[in-house]
Chains A and B, each alone.
Chain A
Amino acid sequence: MTKISDFIGKNARLNVQEAISRAKDKEEYHALLSLTEERALERADAVDRGEITGRLAGVPFVVKDNFLAYGAPTTAASKMLETFNAPLQATAVEKLELEGAICIGKANLDAFAHGGSTENSAFGPTKNAYDKSRVAGGSSGGSAVVTALDIVPFALGSDTGGSIRQPASFNGVIGVKPTYGTVSRYGVVAMASSTDTIGAFATNVADAELVMDIMAGKDDKDMTTLPDFFTPSPAKPSLKVGLIKETMTDDVDPEVKQATLQYIEHLKAAGHTVDEVTLPIVKYALAMYYIIVPAEVSSNLARYDGIRYGHRAGDVRTLAELYGKSRDEGFMTENKRRIMIGSYVLSSGFFDAYYLQAQKARTLLVNEFNKLFENYDVLIGPTTPTPAFGLGENTADPIKMYLADIMTVPASLAGLPAISVPAGNSESGLPIGVQLVGQRRSDATLLALAKSLEEL
């Protein structure tokens, strides 16, 4: 697979032209919603003239289309923002551009990042890189697929409950969700502000580490960014690793369990110790998530009112009608479900039983994680219960779709760093991913561990 280093020191215009031609050859996967060809070529020429330099000079990449970026509309894969031309760029994109990276296009997602398959895109689903009859995963499905298809060496995504890790595992690439607050979210369409994070897809851990190193850091434009802490570090010998028992139940696909156990054998062979540990509250994590996240979604998506930007319904007479119709036409069904569930759990009479109870349960979850981290450096389990499911298989049943996030939401609720690394394929050739979870701010340790295993 291609690496960032394959593009360094080459003619940047050629890098961009070739990436765009690969993207066009693979249009059938529907991984990209737009190409930013004109701007990309201008920037490539500036790199070739030596006007732009840096650690990623001339390296093409793709952003999920919920990142505000120049050169094409930022749609969030919705009718609501179909023609929205961003007047600013996300800090994460700006930082990569300052190092010479060149954005060539914008990747498909579930509209407003609500979903786990990229089937909720208003512009049609993305197909899995290994089997076009299966889903890409989501919500950052397009970003995972462009990386897996070698269109670009890395891509950006956002991860609120698994939206980077789950599609990374479905497409056999590295997916990094950092500690909450590591990377600025300025200029990224907000979903659930207490768990939204920005991360990356890459074909190898070293590249993911480099991209995270460039994007990480405090940003005055995002008050939730943490003081700078992320610095790539060498691998630590003999870590204590805990295999989370609750992620290896009979509900989990046997091949997924087998791949996880095999990865654990590699960990042991590399001198790490692995014990089975228990995180009993994890079985409630999905219920917490589907209260807290819709609550925050209902609040964050209130801004789409058809007034200042975004879709405005025609043929309305009153302001209330304008809000209601613009939102009904601009949102997908899953957006509406989440907004309405959010309105329900926040409404008077239900607030204590749902929202407050979920936030208290979240404390119990954080406490259970903290207790494990008194004795363990890293926790491990499968990234998803199954390999990629079929297109259309779960669309009729939202709960079934939500269950695909069951392994990934706990780290999101606790703000922990987590990465998905490829751990082989199923017999039918579908990728399987293993998830490594660490304490807050232990991102560098996780990446170093994954990198050392990749090198074996």
Chain B
Amino acid sequence: MTQISRDDVLHLAQLSSLALADDEIDGLRVDIGNILNYIQQLGELDTSGIEPTYQVTDLQNVWRDDVIDDYGIDREALLALAPESQNGQIKVPKVL
């Protein structure tokens, strides 16, 4: 049985860029613990010598020409989606 602590939840939240509210933490702790206990059954499978399958298309290295394609979208349309913008730039809180 994998036990997940409150600190584990906060660590995962940090890795996931989630600022969890206090009242969310205990519920997630229980759920994540239960889910981990469920998926751990995969450890029973003998996979020695087996290659992983990351994708199922059989395609490899699909290339395209190295040319700019704006996909028919202009700068103004994209800026209009930003929650805050100023002088043609997306505005964010100060980084440093």
CB distance from B2 to the nearest CB of A (A): 10
Q: Using A357-B42, A364-B50 as known contacts, say yes or no to A328 and B15 having CB atoms under 8 A apart.
A: no
Contact mask B67-96 → A, CB, 8 Å, 1/0?
A: 000011100011001111000001011110
Which residues 47-62 of B sit at the A interface, judged by CB distance below 8 A?
A: 47, 50-57, 59, 62
Residue in chain A with minimal CB distance to B42: A287
Q: Is the CB of B45 within 8 A of A364?
A: yes
Given the complex of chains A and B, what is the CA–CA distance between A359 and B18 in angstroms? Answer: 27
Residues of B within 8 A of A319 (CB): 92-95
Which of the segments A9-17, A112-120, A252-260, A307-315 contacts the partner chain? A307-315
Which residues from chain A sit less than 8 Å from chain B, CB to CB? Answer: 84-85, 87-88, 180-181, 194, 220-221, 223-224, 226, 281, 284, 286-288, 290-291, 298, 302, 305-312, 316-325, 327-328, 331, 333, 336-337, 339-345, 347, 353-354, 356-364, 366, 398-399, 402, 413-415, 440
Pick the contact of B42 from A318, A333, A344, A361 — CB < 8 Å?
A361
B21 at the interface (CB under 8 A from A): yes
**How close is B76's CB to chain A, nearest CB, in angstroms?**
10
Residues of B within 8 A of A309 (CB): 81-83
| Contact present for B19 and A324 (CB under 8 Å) | yes
Complex interface: chain B residues within 8 A of A288 (CB) = 42
Which one of B18, B36, B50 lies within 8 Å of A360 (CB-CB)? B50
Counting chain A CB atoms within 10 Å of each CB, the highest count among B9, B44, B50 belongs to B50
Establish whether residues A336 and B92, one from each chain, have CB atoms under 8 Å apart when the complex forms. no
Nearest A-chain residue to B39, judged by Cβ: A287
* Docked-complex contact B12 and A343, CB < 8 angstroms: yes
Which A residues lie within 8 Å of B47 (CB)?
A: 357, 360-361, 363-364
Judging by beta carbons under 8 Å apart, are B50 and A363 in contact?
yes
Known: A307-B82, A366-B56. A333 touches B27 (CB 8 A): yes
Residue B5 at the chain A interface, CB threshold 8 Å: no
Q: Interface on B for A, CB 8 Å cutoff? A: 9, 12-13, 15-21, 24, 27-28, 31-32, 34-36, 38-45, 47, 50-57, 59, 62, 64, 71-73, 77-78, 81-84, 90, 92-95
Contacts of A336 in B (CB 8 A): 16, 18, 20, 24, 28
A345 vs B2: C-alpha distance when bound (angstroms): 13
Q: How far is the CB of B94 from chain A (nearest CB, A)?
A: 8
Report Cα–Cα, A336/B12, bound state, in Å: 10
Tell me if A362 and B20 are in contact (CB < 8 A).
no
A87, A194, A331, A345: the one within 8 Å of B81 (CB): A87
Q: A319-B92, A336-B28, A399-B38 are in contact. Are A84 and B18 (CB under 8 A)?
A: no
* Cβ–Cβ contact B16 & A363, under 8 A: no
| A327 near B17: Cβ-Cβ < 8 Å | yes
Contacts A224-B57, A290-B39, A341-B35 given; indicate if A302 touches B28 (C-beta within 8 A).
no
Q: Is the CB of B52 within 8 A of A298?
A: no
Report chain B residues within 8 Å CB of A328. 18-21, 24
B55, chain A: closest CB distance, angstroms: 5
14 CB-based A-B contacts, threshold 8 Å? A223-B59, A223-B62, A284-B42, A302-B17, A309-B83, A319-B94, A323-B19, A336-B24, A341-B36, A342-B16, A357-B43, A361-B42, A363-B52, A364-B50
A452 to B29 Cα, complex, angstroms? 50
Q: Which residues of A contact B93 (CB under 8 A)?
A: 316-319, 321-322
Q: Can you name the residue of chain A whose Cβ is closest to the Cβ of B41?
A: A287
> What residues of A have a CB within 8 angstroms of the CB of B54 in the complex?
194, 359
Inter-chain CA distance A226–B59, complex, in Å, is 8
- Tell me, in angstroms, the Cα distance from A331 to B17 when the chains sit together: 12
User: Are A340 and B81 in contact (CB-based, < 8 A)?
Assistant: no
